[in-house]
Amino acid sequence: MIRQMDLVEAVKGYNPAADEDAINRAYVYAMQKHGNQTRASGDPYISHPVEVAFKLTKYKLDTSSIITALLHDTVEDTDATLEEIEKLFGLEVRGLVDGVTKLNRLEVKSESTKQAENFRKLLVAMSEDLRVLLVKLADRLHNMETLDHIKKPEKRARIARETLDIYASLAERIGMRRMKEELQDLAFKELFPEARESIVNRLEYLRKKGRTKVKKAEELIQQMLIDGGLERAKVTGREKKPYSIWKKMEGKNVAFEELSDIVAFRILVDNIGECYQALGIIHEKYHTIPGRFKDYISTPKVNGYQSIHTSVIGPNQQRVEIQIRTREMHRIAEYGVAAHWSYKQGAPINTDGKQYRWIRELLEILEQSAGPEEFLEHTKLEMYHDQVFCFTPKGDIIALPRGSTPIDFAFAVHSQVGFNCVGAKVNGRIVPLKHQLSNGDQVDIITAKTQTPSPTWERFVVTGKARSEIRKFIRTQQRNEYVTLGKAILAKTFKQEGHELKDKILEPALGIFQKKEVEDLYADVGEGLINRNQVYDAIFHTQKSEKAGMKNPFSIAKFRKRISKPSGHALPIKGLIPGMAIHFAGCCHAIPGDKIVGIVTTGKGITVHTMDCETLENFSDSPERWIDIAWDTSGQEESHVGRIRANISHETAALATVANVIAKEMGNISNLKITNRSNDFFEVIIDIEVRNARHLNNIIASLRAKEVIQSVDRM
């Protein structure tokens, strides 16, 4: 365990003015409060907060953050109070400890709701002070480092998935590349151990084989820069991390051997002018690869990252990626928000600037979402995409996820612009609202005061903000329609029985149906969730019983049981025509996660195809037969069959390796057929039962990581 004096020396090493006495007191206080508590590993519990604090010293955080790390579990796990912490360490530390503590006080039912609620609380806390997020990231990193001490595999997998989905992405959003890569690698190791091991082994092989080549390339580029007048430039080779390689294999549908940028070169110079001077030297010497140049200096990423990226046919005629940045840009790229920290003043980071606009947008999404799960879905959309940079007519930059449309752009400018959008011009030309924007596009949104969002927009928007705003509008509109319809239905029912419908007469039924307001009851009747006769019976049975003076005339529990709907599994698809039969096309094997379309077939009902199915060309002249449908992810997960084609080396245990990988990724082979065979390779078609498209893609990526697999693709 890290000693008290080692922690203090680490802080004093970058901040000689740090309050040594306060750190010592916090260390002793935490040790006394945690007492004999132990972790799952058997280590004293105090070792955890001390490790978290020490990790934050690597990012040179202020004294209050270090003290918060030491105390972050005391209020939750011991008899310590916030009042006591304020008295001993001040109001600032109390606020930070309170922010971290609130994240742990969860009283929710399901694991999915717990994750969503956790993230919601984290967002609110970090919007007030980003240091809460920094402490939480360090806390999660140490928990991931000791994850193997948790006995239940499903719990380890859940924590690892949450780390990838939320914490690593947040670390990237605030520019903390090193933290992000550590979190990703630890989660990758837990979720896909075989794929990671295979990639690590291949990297080790390449490292031994190419160490000399990389060193020579470094020296060659260094000399070129010196000859060009950049004597202080520094060149280093940088190897991609295993998780980054695996994601590129999965996303680009390529094998390990096809990746050209496993090793990239980084050039560090003193100022921005020298960045472009170095770029000129490189481009003068080597042929550039079209479409592989990105200037993040003139147009920084949302998290503040700045660098020039270019790919060239470099030394030894190899494709290489080269990154050029100043030393200050490199420091910010490594430490992100922590690089801007003014630890001497200890003032919280101002989140009002453009760099933290995404935090404010997530808070807006929080207000629009119907529940924690929907909020989590929308914020994932907001955080996890590569970006394109577009411009308003005035020249302002709007950063959007790749694949965004003019509707996404409109909502990014302002919610009201999105609501009133009727059309768009991209680079002066009118385009459909489904048009995908590209880097550098100038977008002019055409609005009309009478326009309202169309429900079809939700099908093609990409950003979480746009989707949450559209859904909120649709929910409000639908609710108003259901309320009007429900009121009309009940009014007719009451009139037939000789009664006049008034809001007050319905109030006794609110408790029975567990509704807060009469409008909620109208809405459920209009939507068909509650039967009109059930409402009538609930009211007039109660009234008759009360008049008769019975003690327990009407059992609410029994009535609720009688009106409860029978459980059943609905089809996992939205947008179907009620009453029509449905079946899945055998030509494309659509599974949840795929973009799908329905085709009305005479005598068969609706046939579901993937959007990229070649068979759809046969229906291009019959648009009236196409139905806009989508997967309904709100129900229980079921198994679906995905089909892949694999080329496998003809060697011992090759097929066993394939089956083993599929089994370890929780897939189930339902059919296998060898379609072609030679002395060196054989081709197989495999049907695999999977949960969704993401599950199938994970299996494909894990198969590609195996040396016996030459290629594998989804059919």
Give me the active site residues, please. Answer: 76-77
Strand partners, 605: 601
Helix (H) or strand (E) holding 686: strand 681-690
Burial group, residue 520, by CB count within 10 angstroms (0-12, 13-18, 19+):
middle
**Residue written as token pair 């979720």:** 191
- Return the CA Rg of the chain: 30
Q: Cβ neighbours of residue 655 under 8 Å, at least 6 residues apart?
A: 648, 684
CA 210 to chain centre: 35
Find the helix packing angle between 693-704 and 193-227, rounded to 10°: 70
User: Which residues lie below 8 Å from residue 298, measured CB to CB, with a gap of 6+?
Assistant: none
CA-to-CA distance for 314 and 324, rounded, in angstroms? 15
Angle at 454 between CA 451 and CA 455, to 5 degrees: 155
What is the DSSP code string of 248-313?
A: HHHHHT--GGG-S-SEEEEEEESSHHHHHHHHHHHHHHSEEPTT--EETTTS--TT----EEEEEE
Return the closest-CA partner of residue 647 out of 713, 715, 709: 709
Q: Which helix (H) or strand (E) holds 688?
A: strand 681-690
Tokens at residue 215, please?
């060193």
Helix (H) / strand (E) containing 89: helix 82-89
Angle between helices 177-191 and 327-335 (to 10 degrees): 40
Report residue 419 as tokens: 């609501």
Helix/strand/coil for 425? strand
Give the rounded distance of the alpha carbon of 610 from its chain centre.
24
Assess contact for 239 and 691: CB atoms under 8 A: no
Question: Cα–chain-centroid distance for residue 635?
Answer: 20
Give the list of residues 6+ apart from residue 6 with CB closer than 8 angstroms, or none. Answer: 54
The helix (run of H) or strand (run of E) holding residue 372 is helix 372-383
In 3D space, the residue among 59, 124, 135, 54 whose CA is nearest the CA of residue 96 turns out to be 135
In this structure, the dihedral spanned by the alpha carbons of residues 48, 49, 51 and 55, taken in order and rounded to 10 degrees, is 140
Axis crossing angle, helix 177-191 with helix 193-227, rounded to the nearest 10: 150
